[in-house]
Amino acid sequence: MPPAYKALDKAGIRFLRGQLALVCAAGGTGKSAFILNNLLKASSPIPALYFSCDSDAFVQLSRSIAIIGEISMDKAMDAVKNNSIDEYIPGLNSHPVRFNYAASPSQSDVENSLQSYFELYNQYPHQIILDNVTNIRAGGGDGDDPFSGLEGLMDWAADMARQTQANVTGLHHVTGPNNDGNAPIPMSGVKGQITRVPALVLTLFKPDAETLGVSAVKNRAGRADPSGANYVELGWNGEHMSITDAPFSTAAY
Tell me the per-residue pLDDT of 45-103, one tens digit each, with 9 for 90 and over. 999 999 999 999 999 999 999 999 999 999 999 999 999 999 999 999 999 999 999 99
pLDDT in the model for residue 43: 84
pLDDT in the model for residue 179: 93
Given a cut of 50, is residue 251 above it in pLDDT? Answer: no
Q: What is the mean pLDDT of residues 180-189?
A: 96
pLDDT in the model for residue 250: 46
The 10 Å Cβ neighbour count of residue 238 is: 16
Given a cut of 90, is residue 246 above it in pLDDT? Answer: no
Higher pLDDT, 146 or 4: 4
pLDDT in the model for residue 22: 98
Q: How far apart are CA 34 and CA 206, in angstroms?
A: 12
pLDDT confidence band for 164 (50 / 70 / 90): very high
Work out the mean pLDDT of the chain and round it to a whole number: 92
Q: How far apart are CA 91 and CA 41, in angstroms?
A: 11
DSSP run (H or E) holding 218: strand 211-219
pLDDT in the model for residue 4: 81
Given a cut of 90, is residue 2 above it in pLDDT? Answer: no
Percentage of residues in the chain with pLDDT exceeding 90?
A: 86
Q: How far apart are CA 135 and CA 106, in angstroms?
A: 9
pLDDT in the model for residue 214: 97
| CB-CB contact of 150 with 192 (8 Å) | yes
pLDDT confidence band for 252 (50 / 70 / 90): very low
Percentage of residues in the chain with pLDDT exceeding 70?
A: 92
